[in-house]
Amino acid sequence: MSISGSITAVGHSYVDAATGTPLDAWFPAGATAEKPPARSCLAVELGVIAGEAVTVTIDDLDTPPADLADAYLRLHLLSRRAIKPHDANLDGIFGLLTNCAWTSAGPVLPERVDDLRSMAAASGQAVTVTAVDKIPRMVDYVIPSGVRIGDADRVRLGAHVADGTTVMHEGFINFNAGTLGPAMVEGRISAGVVVGAHSDLGGSASTMGTLSGGGKERVSIGEHCLLGANSGIGIALGDNCTVEAGLYVTAGSRVTLPDGSVVKGRDISGRSGMLLIRNSTSGAIEMRVADPSRWEGINPELHKN
């Protein structure tokens, strides 16, 4: 589903009680000004943070987010599948988000954790910290239908997790990234990476995102693809591709084609029907024509969630 035109949403924001610094924003489906959402947590009860209603209007998703609440709404839209990865401009998002200590008592500024622990201890309660980050885990804000997630800490808000997707305990999905259909995720889907339906990322498989290196090339995986365990890609794959376990193919990798010519990985980026392997004798990366019948695809019984 895509969104066109202006978007207005009513949500609930936690703010630091001492400074008024906004910490997060939650936009549950169906919330209205007449029926605003409400939350509570131990940090609110102890006066460390406070809750307040927030209303956000986005006139154009192609413009950068204006503030923290605007950024959170865009992340919600992604995780609610209202938009797909890259449908919203997220430029400058990290400069708008607050680095929070995500605790069992609620989100607080990192420098407030010791105060929170001391205040909670007075009433015999313990506080644990699950992360210190700018983006929280998805399931605390949005739980998409028809998915299984083995370790909720490994799927960030803003992940697009399609119906029928299973994310195993070692799988990871970053924001503005995810799956477009039933998929098995035992590897890493980095920011900006999109995986097509009926594809499988094997254990510890890796996809190269664009955040760290500042690159603009989008890595994507088509439908009915298999990344073997411990493999990785820095190029796009079309449909019906297989990457051998342990093989990492980047844009600069030298790849031998079936006719014996040698090209760089970027020259085959996006092709369908590739089998990418490493020659066990020469050590060269080779691209062969994949035989779709050699891999039966993901088990549909595992993805009826």
Provide CB contacts within 8 A for 266, sequence distance 6+. 217, 235, 251, 252
Write down the H helix ranges in the chain.
42-45, 68-79, 93-96, 113-121
Q: Helix, strand, coil shares of the chain as percentages rounded to 5?
A: 15, 30, 55
Which residue out of 45, 52, 111, 186 is catalytically annotated? 186
Cβ-Cβ contacts under 8 Å for 281 (sequence gap 6 or more) = none
The encoded tokens of residue 72 equal 């959170």
Any bridge partners for residue 92, and if so which? none
Known catalytic residue: 45? no
Distance (Å, rounded) from C-alpha 238 to C-alpha 108? 43
How many Å separate Cα 298 from the centre of its chain? 21
Element containing residue 53 per DSSP (H, E): strand 49-58
Cα–Cα distance for residue pair 63/65, rounded to 1 Å: 7
How would you classify the pairing of strands 262-264 and 254-256?
antiparallel
Residues taking part in catalysis: 186
